[in-house]
Amino acid sequence: MADRRPEKSCEQACESLKQQDYEVAVKHCTEALLSLSQYPPAHLPEACQAEIDRIKIETLLYRIASFLQLLLICVAVLGEGLAKGDGSFRAVLCCMHLKGKLQIVSNVLSKSLMGESL
């Protein structure tokens, strides 16, 4: 069975960032945050709470770094398409919208980038 400790997920997120696998890093961060949410802060000793806070901050920083890198990749791809200036990028977007495919792309991007709806 997989190790579900928040510390392990945090370590995996860091490793995924090093390997430039940003979507996997976000996934590990989400797992760590979900795992940390199971610990009610009012019932923990101060030392345990300090450790949980440390892991949470690290996880959030890894998650932010992953999101920023994914955003930069998206901007580069979009910028490349728009820079051509031939209207092909806009035409593809319009065609996808008319065929109902743009919502699918939006859903996938939302899930992989933030786990939330755009």
DSSP sequence for 47-61 = HHHHHHHHHHHHHHH
103 or 61, greater pLDDT: 61
H or E stretch at 17? helix 6-18
* Cβ proximity of 67 and 20 under 8 Å: no
Between 65 and 116, the more confident residue is 65
What pLDDT does residue 118 have?
41
Q: Report the predicted TM-score, pTM, of the whole model to 2 decimal places.
A: 0.65
Residues 14-54: tens digit of each pLDDT:
899 899 898 899 999 999 999 888 877 667 777 788 888 89
pLDDT for 29: 92
pLDDT of residue 114: 56
Q: Identity (one letter) of the amino acid at 114?
A: M
Phi, psi dihedrals of residue 39, rounded to the nearest 5°: -100, 110
In total, how many domains does the chain have?
A: 1
Res 61 pLDDT > 90: yes
- Phi, psi of 2, rounded to the nearest 5 degrees: -70, 145
The whole domain housing 44 covers 5-114
